[in-house]
Amino acid sequence: MTSPASSLEIQVPKAGSWPVFGWFTLAFLVFAQWYAIATSPADRDMGDLQKILYVHVPASWIMSITFALVFVYSLLYLWKGKDSYDLLAASSAEVGATFVGLTLVQGMIWGKPTWGVWWTWDARLTSTLVLFLVFVGYLALRAFIDEPQRRGQWSAAVGVLGAINVPIVWMSVRWWRTLHQMQSTPQTMEPVYRNGLLINFLAFTLLAVYLIRRRYEAAMTARAAELALQVAALRGG
């Protein structure tokens, strides 16, 4: 009978300098928010409500990046079958789902004073909500399947299909008439707003890297414990 150790990786990543990186990321995130809010004047049309973009836009950016990682690692798992790819995809999905939720909540906070309603079935909002529900389903699926290989295969299939919605979210404001404004680029923004946004892009990217790494470490530890129990059960039998 094949030992579980033959198909699973049990090397748990070491924490190393990641706790230090985490504290640095937190400090940099606080600085980035302070810098953006302190240096940007009230917008002519939106007033101080404009400052919510320093979280909303970077969160949306990280949402796209994390689900791109889910797509890539899911494909790699289906191809190679390595346990680490499955856990990296799952870790990215957990972090990504958090940022999608943050994007939706902040969009609603911005939409109420701007559009007069908390929610409207706008193409951008609806496609983002679909993305959120797909990956909540992805995480729920993983929670209900105990067998690691079947869990990895099924969730990888959902991850690949779900990530296809990311370009739909991005292009929705161009493909359909929506209330949501068109995407801005750094070239179309005044420096007083652009600098604060770019520094927050960097801060949120560092935060996503840290969260994915620590979640991956926790997942590998849990998988190693699961494997140890399987091996002990087989030897006991």
Confidence category of residue 8, pLDDT binned at 50, 70, 90: very low
Q: What is the number of domains present in the chain? A: 1
Domain carrying residue 177: 18-39+49-236
Higher pLDDT, 223 or 183: 223
Q: What pLDDT score was predicted for residue 14?
A: 62
The more confidently predicted of residues 127 and 210 is 210
- Asked if residue 162 is part of any domain, the answer here is yes
6, part of any domain: no
- Position 1 confidence tier, pLDDT thresholds 50, 70, 90: very low
With respect to residue 229, please indicate whether it lies within any of the assigned structural domains. Answer: yes
Tell me whether residue 165 is in a domain.
yes
Residue 123, pLDDT > 90, answer no
State the pLDDT at residue 102.
92
Residue 1 in any domain: the answer is no
Helix (H) and strand (E) counts in the chain: 7, 0
pLDDT of residue 227: 76
Q: Is the pLDDT confidence value at 33 over 60?
A: yes
Buried b (16+ CB within 10 A) or exposed e, 92-110: bbbbbbbbbebbbebbeeb
Lowest mean pLDDT among 11-25, 53-67, 100-114: 11-25
Residues 224 and 218: their CA atoms lie apart, in Å, by 10
Is the predicted pLDDT of residue 211 greater than 70, yes or no? yes
Q: Which residue has the higher pLDDT, 150 or 111?
A: 150
Coil, helix or strand for 43?
strand
